[in-house]
Structures are given as structure tokens and as C-alpha cells.
Amino acid sequence: MRQRFCCKTGEMINKYEFDKEEMDSTLVAKWRGENGHDELGINDLEHWFNKQILTLYYQRNGRPDPEYKIDAEYEVLADDDIPDHKRAELVSELEAEGIDVETMTDDFVSYSTIYRHFSECIDAEKGSDDDDNTDTDWERDGIDLAKENFRDRVTKSLRTLSNKDRLAGYENAELEFSASLRCDHCPTRVPVETAVEQGYVCATHNDLDIAPDASSVEVVSSFLA
Ligand SMILES: [Zn+2]
Ligand SMILES: [Zn+2]
């Protein structure tokens, strides 16, 4: 069945009868921060897309759908950190109004699906066509995605252990992690973000004969933007 569509994003655009062309161009415009849209990261695009689905269910079932309500209730449905009883409360309220919550939340897409939809289905790029930094923007998004993925997986495993009473105190703990780059030739170690910002791993062993020139400074500023 799914082969008819480019990916789950395309399948949901079709299922909920969004205008494919309009949805694709809106997603890309938001991602790039063009046409009067605020620039959104892939994570925010995931939430924005899923809120379109949520809004549709509310409208079809006559539930009021002001933006603040959509934002708040989407968070209850989609955020892992929301206590189960709070989510269950909202779910039964929605089900009482005729909303098939399970089908709806199964149809929510993930940020990796959105990312793949851009890169593989519609061949969209983050930068404008004359922007030399397109590749570096892709890579930066890739790093962010990998970290989010990692965080999700670790969080799920830890929560499972915690639920099985094999990890005491998890509810009162904050997951902290970072990725670092270590120089092969000395003990220098820098966080990935710092390396990307400064444009090198180790000041001594960076294999650069000269200080960063104007063009690499430009790359750096695009990472900071
Ligand atoms: Zn797709
Ligand atoms: Zn070094």
C-alpha cells in the first residue's frame, strides 16, 4: 500500500487530503524561513505537520481548535515527558468526542521522516540555490538529528529500566550527554559544537598552514546563525 506514496509524509498528505504541492512548498518555506515564515528546524516542522493533522481531527469532530489549545494538547499527546495519567485523561476526553486517538497518533510523522521527505522525495535543500553553505547546513541538521535520535533511544531504554524498578531515581534525573572530538596527536578534546563553531578540532594539529581565511569564517558564522 505504502509504495504508492513517496514516504509516510506523502502518505499522510494524501490520507488527510492536504494539497500536496502546497504542503510541500509550505514545509520547505518554513524550513528555509522564506515567504514570511519563521525558520523552523526539522523537529519543529515535525510538530507543525502533526498539529495540522490534530487540527483536522478537532475540526471534523467539532472540537474547538484555537492555536494555544492545539499546542498544549499536542504536547500532552506527543511529549514523552508528560505523565501517563495526564495523557490518559486527554485521550479519554478526545475519544468521548469521537476522535480515534490511536489512529491519529499513529499517523504522526517523525522528524527523520520529514528529513527523508526533503532529502529523498522532493529533493529540497535548506539553503537557497546560490548559497554556498547548503552542504554545511545539511551536515549541521544531520548532527542535530543524530543527537536527537540518540537521546530518544537512550531515554526509552532508561525509562524501561526505571519502570522495571531497575533504575532508581530516574524520574528525578536529567539526561546529559555530549559528543566530543579528540585530537589523535594530543589530549585536546572539544565538544562537536565547539569544533564546528571554531572550524577545527585542535589548534596545534589542525593541518592548516594558515589561520582561517575569510571563507571559512563565513562558514562558521552560518553555523552560529
Ligand atoms: Zn516523502
Ligand atoms: Zn592536537
Name 182's bridge partners: 189
Same domain, 114 and 35: yes
Same domain, 182 and 167: no
Residues around the ion ligand 1 (C-beta < 5 A): 6-7, 9-10, 117, 121
Same domain, 52 and 114: yes
Number of the ligand closest to the Cα of 115: 1
Higher pLDDT, 208 or 24: 24
Same domain, 100 and 159: no
Question: How far away, in angstroms, is 102 Cα from ligand 1 center?
Answer: 22
Distance CA 5, CA 11 (A): 5
Question: How far away, in angstroms, is 121 Cα from ligand 1 center?
Answer: 5
User: All 3 cell numbers of residue 185?
Assistant: 596527536
Helix pair angle (42-60, 67-78), 10° resolution: 110
Number of the ligand closest to the Cα of 117: 1
Residue 224 belongs to a domain: no
When mean pLDDT is compared over 8-22, 145-159, 195-209, the highest value belongs to 8-22
Do 40 and 30 form a contact (C-beta atoms < 8 A)?
yes
User: What confidence category does residue 76 fall into, taking pLDDT thresholds of 50, 70 and 90?
Assistant: very high
Q: Cell match 594530543: residue?
A: 186
Angle among Cα 108, 87, 151 to the nearest 5 degrees reads 60
Question: How far away, in angstroms, is 187 Cα from ligand 2 center?
Answer: 7
Same domain, 79 and 39: yes
Same domain, 100 and 40: yes
Question: How far away, in angstroms, is 190 Cα from ligand 2 center?
Answer: 11
Residue 138 has pLDDT above 80, yes or no: no
Residue 189 belongs to a domain: yes
Same domain, 66 and 166: no
Residue 51 belongs to a domain: yes
Same domain, 32 and 99: yes
pLDDT on residue 4: 79
Same domain, 49 and 143: no
Same domain, 159 and 194: no
Question: How far away, in angstroms, is 149 Cα from ligand 1 center?
Answer: 19
Higher pLDDT, 100 or 218: 100
pLDDT on residue 200: 86
pLDDT on residue 136: 60
Residue 204 belongs to a domain: yes
Residue 225 belongs to a domain: no
User: All 3 cell numbers of residue 161?
Assistant: 529500566
Residue 81 belongs to a domain: yes
Question: How far away, in angstroms, is 179 Cα from ligand 2 center?
Answer: 17
Question: How far away, in angstroms, is 142 Cα from ligand 1 center?
Answer: 18
When mean pLDDT is compared over 15-24, 115-124, 136-145, the highest value belongs to 15-24
Same domain, 53 and 88: yes
Considering its fold, how many domains does the chain have in total? 3
pLDDT on residue 225: 31
Number of the ligand closest to the Cα of 188: 2
Residue 184 belongs to a domain: yes
pTM of the model: 0.63
Domain that holds residue 66: 8-125
pLDDT tens digit string along 148-204? 777 777 888 888 888 888 888 887 887 777 778 888 888 989 888 788 888 888 888
Same domain, 63 and 47: yes
Q: What is the mean pLDDT of residues 89-115?
A: 94
Distance CA 216, CA 205 (A): 17
Residue 147 belongs to a domain: yes
Residues around the ion ligand 2 (C-beta < 5 A): 183, 185-186, 188, 202, 204-205
Give the helix, strand, coil percentages of the chain, each rounded to 5.
Answer: 60, 5, 35
